[in-house]
Amino acid sequence: MYDANKILIGLAIFLGLMTYPVWSGLGRAVQAPKPEIDTPIIQKMPEKKCVENTHFMKTTHMQLINEWRDDALRKGEREYTNARGEKVLMSLQLTCMNCHSNKDKFCDSCHNYAGVNPYCWDCHLTPKQMKEGI
């Protein structure tokens, strides 16, 4: 015969290697990110609330920041009124990061998990840079 055994063993090894990424992850749950909100400003808040409700922030914060950016720079309007009727300054550095001053344990923990790397920090200063220098 034409070396059926050898071919079958070869096939088995080949299939095993090809599917390695699938079965190697079995039973090993990847940690979902747990963004920490333990910052000095948030600690002082009587009610721990973001600019908009938590679900909205989780799903739509990237759009919200983009709107802020366009309103502030292109329309010259820098005050945002949220669903609760409160006015906030539309600023990445001065608003978002003032509360979420633990960027690496908050923004980055999610972004690393999701594989996104916003280029904002090429220009915008991180809370650490705002405090300690560029």
Partner 1 sequence: MSMDRREFIKIAGLTSLVGAGASGAFQLLEPGVLDAATHEEHGHGDAAHGQAEEQASGPKVRWAMTVDVRKCEDPEVVKRIVTACHTAHNVPDFGNPKDEVKWIWADTYEHAFTDSANEFMDKSIEHLPFLLLCNHCDDPPCVRVCPTKATFKRPDGVVAMDYHRCIGCRFCMAGCPYGSRSFNWRDPRTVLEGKPYNPNFPTRMRGVVEKCNFCVERIWKGLQPACVEAAPDVLTFGNLADPDSNVRQILRVRVSMRRKPELGTKPSVFYLV
Measure the CA dihedral 56/62/67/70, to 10°: 170
- DSSP class of 123: T
CA distances from 75 to 63, 91, 98, 129 (A): 17, 14, 23, 28
Q: Is 62 in the site for partner 1 (CB under 8 A)?
A: no
Which position among 37, 82, 105, 130 is part of the footprint of ligand HEC (CB under 6 A)?
37
Residue count at the site for partner 1 (CB under 8 A)? 16
Q: Position 23: which residue type?
A: W
Q: Is 63 in the site for partner 1 (CB under 8 A)?
A: no
Query: How much of the chain is in helix, strand and coil states, percent to nearest 5?
Result: 55, 5, 40
In contact, 102 and 35? CB cutoff 8 Å: no
133 binds, among partner 1, ligand HEC, none (CB under 5 to 8 A by kind): partner 1
99 binds, among partner 1, ligand HEC, none (CB under 5 to 8 A by kind): ligand HEC
Work out how close the CB of 80 gets to partner 1 at its nearest, in angstroms, rounded to a whole number: 13
Query: Can you read off the two tokens belonging to residue 12?
Result: 């088995």
Q: Which residues bind ligand HEC (CB under 6 A)?
A: 35, 37, 42, 48-51, 54, 57-58, 61-62, 64-65, 68-69, 72-73, 90-96, 99-100, 106-107, 110-111, 114, 116, 118-120, 122-124
